[in-house]
Structure 1
Amino acid sequence: MNHLASKATLLGLGLLAAASTANAQTADRKTAIGLHANATQYRGDLGNNFFEFKNMPYSGGIDITRYIGKVLDIKLDLDYTRLRSPADEGKFNSAGRRFRAQTYGAGLGFKIKAPINDAFFLHPYVLIEPGFAWVTTDRYATPTGPNNFTRFGTFTGQIGGGLDFHLGESAILFLQASQSYMQTSDARLDGVDNNATTFWNKKDRYLTFSAGLRANLGKAKDEDMDGVSDKKDKCPGTPTGVKVDLNGCPIDTDGDGVADYQDKCPDVKGLAALQGCPDADNDGVADNDDKCPNTPAGVRVDASGCPLDADGDKVPDYLDKCPNTPAGTQVDANGCPLDRDGDGVPDYMDRCPDRAGPASNKGCPEMKAETQKVLKEATKYINFDFDKATLKPSSYPKLQQMVQILNEYPDYSLSIAGHTDSKGDDAYNLKLSYDRASSARAYMLSKGIPADRIEARGYGETKPIADNATAAGQALNRRVDFDPFLTGEANSAEVKYGAAPTVAELRAQGKMAPVKKAPAKKAPAKKKAPVKKARR
């Protein structure tokens, strides 16, 4: 039996770990689920090994128990059971007979418990359990013949008793012994008729010794969730999370009349007005919350007991010469915003805090007029190979000049926007304009300008500056614009032209007719030449 109990305990470790921390199975926790191991001993026409604890076949099952009342539980058993004739371990005896069987059964039992308080650790009980089993047996096998397995369903019954051991507050260990019967059609479970006339002698039967572990499900009713069940709670309605005594009442360690959960100083007597804490400097802030315990009398303080600092710049209001500084602004000893470059624009408003500039340009140096002129006229000097995005060498001097400008004005970024005339396929023009802008950008990046300071965009033929009906207008529309803007501000090209379009947007706007490409594909190559000659 020690071996059997150990085996059942191992089978139930998972259930024990998952068991909740509440009382054992009672009216508050009515359901338990468990695993158990069985050992069986046969008694019939082929022998009797009742109470012979050797060569017992082992098996097991699961059980679900429901608390009905103080003296009654209902128990559902689902078992796999192995049976065999006595000490020969199921081998043929000298008479050429043997008995081996295995069953799959279900039983609904009634546990009649001793009327003991639910909280007591030991609960004896009597079990009466009818059921049904599916049996597979070779009861008619012979040493020379086939096994002749027989299968049949049968009603079963068992009666026995056991002990429930309540393991703290989480689970139940139980030990049980019962005697079982099967209602076979010929009253011969082992296949041998002993011609007996009395019930006890005519029936084959077996003993089952069981050991198992049940996890108790649910938890005791505790409306205020203080860990003390409602039946024991003398202070129902305690707020959630409050530490309570064994009676469920809030603890008051210092005895000042303020319960610990309301007492900010639970170990020191204090004032109820200050949630149980003292106030040595009489500033209305309890000592344990007062970060400035020596504040002079009459000075207005905040909730922490320190002099007020309305703008949060760490300079108290009575010393602050700039009391309305925006939150997070770095200030000097007088509480006024820092201005490192001395341009009259506070650092928190200055886009260029280390270089002086007017407030109209957000504190940044303004580009000289001649520099702006160079950028504006740069488009005249940027040229590409015919119908390609490859820069011509004649473009390099002007691009190098723009590199120098960006180095001279490190607070600025540059927008490069490519444009074409209206000749040719719209999608092709859109890609060509972007590729040309990207080529100019790539050149400047190769000269050491950081990538995040130059943006390239392509607008194709969507933003003409002249009439595309004339050759002169088309020439003006084929261009690459260079526009500076303060880093972090809106892209200048997007401000001027809006967001760069996509092919899908052009189609959606009806600017790309599906039939437009068909003639171009069918036209002879020599007819395309005039269009290509018109494009730079």
Structure 2
Amino acid sequence: MKHLLPHLRLLALLAALPLAAGAQTAERRTSLGLNLSALQYQGDFGSDYWKMERSSYAPGLAINQYLGRGIDLNTQLFFGELSGRRDDKTHFNTTLVNANAGFKFKLNNGWVLKQNAFFQPYLLAGSGWTYASRSGMFDGKRIDLDKGYVDVFGAAGISLRLGGGVSLFVQSGQHLPLNANLDGISETETPRWADRFLQHTAGLTFNLGQAPDADEDGVPDRLDRCPSTTPGVEVNATGCPPDGDGDGVPDYQDQCPTDAGTAELRGCPDQDGDGVGDAEDACSEVPGKVELQGCPDADNDGVPDQEDQCPDTPAGAQVDAQGCPSPTEANNDTDGDGVANDVDRCPSSPGPASNRGCPEIRADVRQRLKEATQFIGFELNRATLLPSSYPTLDSLAQLLRRYPDYTLSIAGHTDSRGAAAYNLRLSRERAAAARDYLLTRGIDAARVALRGYGAQHPLADNATDAGRSRNRRVEFDLFLTGDPNAAEAKYGPEPTAPSPATLKKATPVKKAPAKKIPARKAPARKAPARKALSPSARATKAPTKAARPAGKAKVPTKKPAKAPARPGARPGQR
């Protein structure tokens, strides 16, 4: 047992090594294996095969080189010994040094099993050299001999993929050193195969190297056709999310994954092309208006043609619910919803009295607002929207046109990593980026309100990657224009931005190279002007610049001293 302890310590050390990223493929071609083997002798002294208590232990090293999906080049080296004993006059002890090379035939070749499968069976076949140093006695006579033999080797094993770059493997193989005399007794009948041994091996394989993979989806950037996939989304061999209906909208974002549609409608079909999905289009075969659920309104009086009893009403005329001109305003109810104008919050849009005369937000619309959060993504540690966010924001613009009496609340949140002051600014900038995009789609700036709450209101535990991913979000809510902001009703007032001095302490400033700071040539009296536009001051002014492109206007091109305020300037992923 004493001679086994160093080898057990070696395996414990290997198990403690960190897991590398990526798996051995054409991108990461070489792996290194460290192992421990149990050697079992068979010869003129009998057979120790499959008798673990009679085994001797040998440390070893293996190097694997990727050749193709189904085959690798494998080399192995180990040092051990075999022994046997009949009595004090007949015994042997043979030290072995073995090196061999051969081919590893893999079943995780993409045809039988996936290349990144957890279970990875394989076969080994090779040949090499066994050097044997024998000492001992036969009938009281010394049988010492040092000699080398050609070794034929075959084995079967299985690898268990523990992580991106580490595998645990176990294998058993047969060694046939040709014409070897390992025990000192000559065999006359089968001298070629008389002495041989089994090798049972367990160890760890570490795949070396790491191919660049910016979106961490397991597909190297060189092969990734969708290099900005949202973290955690399942991808295929080309790095793209599955798209079952082939409409260009990945299944995880496709609201109609079995029916081909358009990106603007999140993958849902729109056969009349009016911008209203068939599932919500009350007139799916005729182009119409978004605010009328896709139905046409030839005289633009707000009443769909199929309900309009006066389809040729003059432009601008007040009409009743049937689309006919109102004979008088005596009823003081412009939209004819039964709520008098003086108490009607939406006198031009019919709605129930329970909602103060305003149209109610349908349950499916509120669900869409809730789900929109998961489809909004940003560049790493920045407030720049990913293109995959555009279809969702386009659909929100359509909702705002459908509900002209409502304002959209956008609330930005972060996880808890990093300084609180930085998180507060980043959450507000990301909300501003979403707002700016909506303004480019023709939405009035007064109808989009933003708030930033930093890491103050998590949805999940910030101690886990999954929890932090849920906490990094932008939330959307509709509320009647003039009512309290929906985000403030849910989370309270927006936190106050810290002072410039506090923010500078919270966000370390990395000085730009001297050649990139033209401001150094300016007189010292101009320094206060640069200090006035601190990161917190720019975060406070963010809502007033509706047309500012997200993630770009915050880095002045003429004042490099502000470069540390870029969202990507701090370490860690946001």
TM value normalised by structure 1: 0.43
Structure number, greater radius of gyration: 1
TM value normalised by structure 2: 0.41
